[in-house]
Amino acid sequence: MTERSLVLIKPDGVQRLLVGRVISRFEERGLKLVGLKLLQVSRELAERHYAVHADKPFFPGLVAFMTSSPLVAMAIEGPNAIGVVRTMVGATRPWEAAPGTIRGDLALEVAQNLIHASDGAETAEAELALWFPEGTLAYTREIDRWALAPGG
């Protein structure tokens, strides 16, 4: 099933000049970028994005970090994209993330784990609406004509 996921390259990824490499991983996998922007996040947006963690001890630090410098927001589309992207991202605690995953290859600290990805269909829909209120793009790549053939 074609799905869309919200992916953030957090401020550490921008600071560490890893934006291109992270985007490349998704492109190389065959996933399609349907939204992409660099932005400095307001406190309100960061708090809404991480509202589920509002009671956690790390919440204030997380919001401060997410608003500290620009980050990249992406909408990514593809077959089973939500689960595929989460698998590519790896475990929350980078020291537990498998080699070959983005966190397992490029991160070490849980507070600077480089990337966010939607964890389910409902959160993906809510997060895409939050980060891309202007909407995302629909377009067909040449390869989509084959991938989306009947039964494909």
Name the token pair of 138: 């629909």
| The only residue of 116, 124, 128, 131 in contact with ligand IDP, by rule CB under 6 A | 116
Are the C-beta atoms of residues 14 and 72 closer than 8 Å to each other? yes
| The only residue of 119, 123, 125, 130 in contact with ligand IDP, by rule CB under 6 A | 119
**Whose CA is closest to 118, among 128, 108, 110?**
128
Can 116 be counted among the known catalytic residues? yes
- Span interacting with ligand IDP, options 1-9, 17-25, 72-80, 113-121, rule CB under 6 A: 113-121
> Please, where are the H alpha helices in 4-152?
11-15, 19-29, 43-49, 59-66, 81-89, 102-106, 121-131, 144-147
Q: How far is the CB of 72 from ligand IDP (least distance, A)?
A: 15
Taking the C-alpha atoms of residue 31 and residue 107, their distance in angstroms, rounded to an integer, is 22
Taking CB under 6 A as the rule, does residue 110 contact ligand IDP?
yes
| The only residue of 51, 98, 111, 129 in contact with ligand IDP, by rule CB under 6 A | 111
| The only residue of 92, 135, 141, 147 in contact with ligand IDP, by rule CB under 6 A | 92
Taking the C-alpha atoms of residue 87 and residue 120, their distance in angstroms, rounded to an integer, is 12
Is 23 or 71 the residue whose CB approaches ligand IDP more closely? 71
- Span interacting with ligand IDP, options 14-22, 40-48, 109-117, 134-142, rule CB under 6 A: 109-117
